């Protein structure tokens, strides 16, 4: 009933029956039984908007899967795929930077997942290491449902915070579309290879300036292929940025990626 602490189980075909619940991140749980199968799950509370986003894009192998939900009068609780290897951000902090093979693998996984998201009319807008998790084999899982807001351990510990990943059009207050994700891919590729984002500065003002002027400098150690990919993504004019298909087909990605999981089955991946 309405006073039931655990709430009611729902099905993914009846989203509009939930109303507009509010919530916060709950605890991650270990393996739980669901639908007759033992699968590793995490249960969390979330907002209605986050729930709709997850439902729309769940199904790609590089997006954290939504299995089901239940709700009470105040919250919706999601039963989510468990990412046993944790956050990419912590892994990057531990390693300082990734080699070309690992960085290119992330680029291929993300580009494929974002093609899928964009096809579903979802713009991510916040691709960064804090919002990326790793599955059992190290495969990438996009996991952006407000976690970085609620879990302090996932927050970027720099003066400029997430400003480092904002594209020029958002910094300048101009309209933006799905091409903001292309910019974020370029920033991410740079940070994975170098260990810091490309426009990181001592103050917000300096970071704003470097982003809007695309003040981009590559270390001497970065290969020409990586420079070419990043340079094609970090363009001030969104229309000039390398499209996601171009990321997948880029020679540097093709030569270095060691993707663990193949693209999902027909209809659930970006490269179909």
- 268 occurs within a structural domain: no
For residue 77, the enclosing domain spans 8-81
User: Does residue 213 share a domain with residue 94?
Assistant: yes
User: Does residue 32 share a domain with residue 74?
Assistant: yes
Report whether 144 belongs to an annotated binding site: yes
- 29 occurs within a structural domain: yes
User: Does residue 187 share a domain with residue 156?
Assistant: yes
Q: What is the pLDDT of residue 57?
A: 72
Share of the chain above pLDDT 90, in %: 46
Report whether 82 belongs to an annotated binding site: yes
- Among the candidates 24, 56, 81, a domain finishes at 81
User: Does residue 206 share a domain with residue 165?
Assistant: yes
User: Does residue 118 share a domain with residue 49?
Assistant: no
User: Does residue 120 share a domain with residue 67?
Assistant: no
- 270 occurs within a structural domain: no
- Provide the annotated active-site residues: 126
Mean pLDDT of 219-229: 97
User: Which tens digits make up the pLDDT trace of 71-127?
Assistant: 788 777 778 888 999 999 999 999 999 999 999 999 999 999 999 888 887 777 888
Q: How confident is the model at residue 263 (pLDDT cuts 50, 70, 90)?
A: low
User: Which tens digits make up the pLDDT trace of 26-82?
Assistant: 223 333 323 322 334 444 445 555 666 666 777 889 988 888 888 788 777 778 888
Report whether 130 belongs to an annotated binding site: yes
- 77 occurs within a structural domain: yes
Q: Does the pLDDT value for residue 14 go beyond 80? A: no
Residue 131 near residue 167 (C-beta atoms within 8 A): no
- 93 occurs within a structural domain: yes
Report whether 81 belongs to an annotated binding site: yes
User: Does residue 243 share a domain with residue 228?
Assistant: yes
Q: Domain holding 76: CATH number?
A: 3.30.200.20
Mean pLDDT of 159-174: 79
Average pLDDT across the chain, whole number: 76
- Among the candidates 81, 106, 141, a domain finishes at 81
Number of domains in the chain: 2
- pTM for the full model? 0.76
DSSP the chain: -TT-TT-EE--TT-GGGS------------EEEETTEEEEEEEEEE-HHHHHHHHHHBTBTTBPPEEEEEE-SS-EEEEEE--TT-BHHHHHHHHSS--HHHHHHHHHHHHHHHHHHHHTT------SGGGEEE-TTS-EEE--SSHHHH-GGGS--STTGGGGG--HHHHTT----TTHHHHHHHHHHHHHHHSS-TT--SSHHHHHHHHHTT-----TTS-HHHHHHHHHH--SSGGGSPPHHHHHH-HHHHHH---SSPP-STTSSTT-
User: Does residue 113 share a domain with residue 17?
Assistant: no
Report whether 83 belongs to an annotated binding site: yes
User: Does residue 177 share a domain with residue 153?
Assistant: yes
Q: Domain holding 99: CATH number?
A: 1.10.510.10
Share of the chain above pLDDT 70, in %: 68
């Amino acid at each position: 009933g309405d006073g039931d602490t655990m709430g009611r189980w729902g099905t993914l075909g009846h989203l509009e029956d939930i109303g507009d619940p509010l919530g916060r991140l709950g605890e991650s749980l270990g393996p739980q039984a669901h639908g007759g199968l033992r699968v590793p799950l995490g249960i969390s509370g979330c907002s209605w908007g986050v729930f709709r986003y997850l439902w729309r894009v769940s199904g790609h192998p590089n997006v954290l899967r939504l299995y089901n939900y239940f709700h009470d009068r105040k919250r919706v609780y999601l039963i989510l795929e468990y990412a046993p290897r944790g956050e990419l951000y912590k892994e990057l902090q531990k390693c300082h930077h990734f080699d070309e093979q690992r960085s290119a693998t992330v680029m291929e996984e993300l580009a494929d997942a974002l093609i899928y998201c964009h096809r579903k009319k979802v713009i991510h807008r916040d691709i960064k290491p804090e919002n990326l998790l790793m599955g059992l084999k190290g495969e990438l899982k996009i996991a952006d449902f407000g976690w970085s807001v609620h879990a302090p351990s996932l927050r970027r510990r720099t003066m400029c915070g997430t400003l480092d990943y904002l594209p020029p059009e958002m910094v300048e207050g101009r309209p933006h579309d799905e091409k903001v994700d292309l910019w974020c891919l370029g920033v991410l590729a740079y940070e994975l290879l170098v260990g810091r984002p490309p426009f990181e500065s001592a103050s917000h003002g300096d970071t704003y300036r470097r982003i809007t002027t695309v003040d981009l400098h590559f270390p001497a150690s970065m290969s020409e292929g990586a420079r070419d990919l990043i340079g094609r993504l970090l363009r001030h004019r969104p229309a000039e940025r390398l499209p996601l298909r171009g990321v997948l087909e880029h020679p540097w990605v093709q030569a270095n990626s060691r993707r663990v999981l193949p693209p999902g089955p027909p209809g659930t991946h970006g490269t179909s």
